Structure 1
Amino acid sequence: MTEDRKMLEPMATVVSVVLRILLAVAITGVVVSVVHGSWGGFSVCIADELSSSSATPGGFAAESGAQVDSIPRYCAGEPDAHLRILDALSSLPSSLLLISGLYLLHRFFRGATREGVYTAPTASRLRLVGWWLLVGSLVVAFAEANARAALLAALASNVDFSAGTVLSMWHFPYLAVLTGLGVVTFARITRQGVAMREDLEGLV
């Protein structure tokens, strides 16, 4: 499997190192928060991207022909558990998707190194990475949009939690979806190539 290992480098090593670094940072952050009890002490803020004003804020001067817009930002100085959870849900799912995606990618590289690149299990692991990225990015984007909309509705009296607010907060993950579709397609091609190679080996 030496040739297969060479084909997978340096990506396999980079994924392994980055995954370990992210896990170490995440575990350290959780431990520090628990020991110091800082998780409940920070302020919760969100910008109302749905509303803007052309009134020039004090202290900000625009060049001739340019305009400064004001976007309100709401902060809860002493947020309760509900607001802290909404604030966490507005960004934490992306981090979890990144770490879990790197783990699946690391698992794919490790299996490909051990069993070979052109094998059915390797193609299956690659397909799992593609579907995880494709479906996961959509779910995460929608979940975070819901959390941001709920947080804004809780802090701004002129904003209601509604489908329109959620859709306005939702940013479609075009790159992640296209990448996921590409990986799924490549996994299908790889599986087809594996089947053709097995047929040829059977004939020989």
Structure 2
Amino acid sequence: MNTRLTRNLSAVAQALSVVFGLAFLGKAGVRLSDDGAICVETGFWANARLADPLSVAPGVEASSSAARLCQESPSVAQRLADLGSELPWLLFGALALVLFARMLKAVVEQGPFTGMVARRLTVLGWFVAVGTPVTGLVAGWSQGWLVASMAPMVGVEQVVSGPTALTLAGLAAVVMGKIMREGVRMREDLEGTI
């Protein structure tokens, strides 16, 4: 086991989690303090020709060629919904990297096949497996609500966004954590009999 490589990987994961966290805080601060227009893209009428103008809320510009809606003076709720379409993924990434760095720290301190590493791998796996669809739901719901607030006739067209492969990777990590935990238990039983 190359502990130097694992230490370096843990340090990179910790640094990236700090970067993601700072990006989360910075983007939230900039977006909340910005008093300009907010825009959202929707695929509802991207390929359609509109005979009648689209029914949009006051102060909203709609472009059918770009499937884009822009609100000139958005409400606080619209600003929060705009944040909700991007910020959950930054927070999810920062927290996943923190859990990954903690797991690598346990590998360096105790070795790769220990109960602590198996538990931390399982926690990371459950976080990724459950957090991916939850984060996608929050981001998709926020974008859908924002679209519906600008063009009430369009409605919510996006419920879940994000990479579903992460859910499978998280479940694989849960399974590997369970296998490692069983291997640790078997090793401890074997050491107890010898």
Q: TM-score scaled to structure 1, two decimals?
A: 0.77
The reply to whether residue 173 of structure 1 matches residue 163 of structure 2 is: yes
Whether contact under 8 Å (2:17, 2:93) holds in the other structure is no
Whether contact under 8 Å (1:4, 1:112) holds in the other structure is no
SS in 1 for 2:33: coil
State the alpha-carbon separation in 1 of the partners of residues 91 and 22 from structure 2. 14
Q: Which residue of 1 aligns with 2:177?
A: 187
For 1:15, which of 13, 16, 21 is the aligned residue? 13
- What's the CA shift for 1:90? 1.2
Whether contact under 8 Å (2:46, 2:67) holds in the other structure is yes
Alpha-carbon spacing, 1:23–1:48, altered in 2? closer, same or farther (3 Å): closer
Q: Which residue of 2 aligns with 1:87?
A: 82
* Larger RCO (CA within 8 A; separation ≥ 6): 2
Q: Which residue of 2 aligns with 1:62?
A: none
SS in 2 for 1:158: coil
Alpha-carbon spacing, 1:21–1:170, altered in 2? closer, same or farther (3 Å): closer
Moved over 6 A (4+): none
State the alpha-carbon separation in 2 of the partners of residues 157 and 107 from structure 1. 45
- What's the CA shift for 1:9? 5.3
Q: How many residues align?
A: 180
Q: Which residue of 2 aligns with 1:198?
A: 188
- What's the CA shift for 1:202? 0.7
Describe how 1:1-204 pairs up with structure 2 within 5 A.
Answer: 3=1, 5-6=3-4, 8=6, 10-27=8-25, 29=26, 33=30, 39-53=33-47, 70-160=65-155, 165-166=156-157, 168-171=158-161, 173-204=163-194
SS in 2 for 1:182: helix
Cα RMSD (Å) = 2.5
Alpha-carbon spacing, 1:75–1:51, altered in 2? closer, same or farther (3 Å): same
Whether contact under 8 Å (1:4, 1:117) holds in the other structure is no
- What's the CA shift for 1:10? 4.7
State the alpha-carbon separation in 1 of the partners of residues 130 and 166 from structure 2. 9
In the TM superposition, what whole-angstrom CA distance separates every residue of 1:134-160 from its partner, at most 9, and x where no partner exists? Answer: 000011111111111110000114223
Percentage identity across paired residues of the two chains: 26
Supply the AA of the counterpart residue of 2:141.
N
- What's the CA shift for 1:133? 0.3
State the alpha-carbon separation in 2 of the partners of residues 83 and 31 from structure 1. 14
Alpha-carbon spacing, 1:190–1:150, altered in 2? closer, same or farther (3 Å): same
Whether contact under 8 Å (1:43, 1:75) holds in the other structure is yes
Supply the AA of the counterpart residue of 2:160.
W
Supply the AA of the counterpart residue of 1:196.
M
Alpha-carbon spacing, 1:21–1:72, altered in 2? closer, same or farther (3 Å): closer
Q: Which residue of 2 aligns with 1:64?
A: none
Q: TM-score scaled to structure 2, two decimals?
A: 0.81
Q: Which range moved further: 168-177 or 187-196?
A: 168-177
Q: Which range moved further: 133-142 or 105-114?
A: 105-114
Alpha-carbon spacing, 1:81–1:13, altered in 2? closer, same or farther (3 Å): same
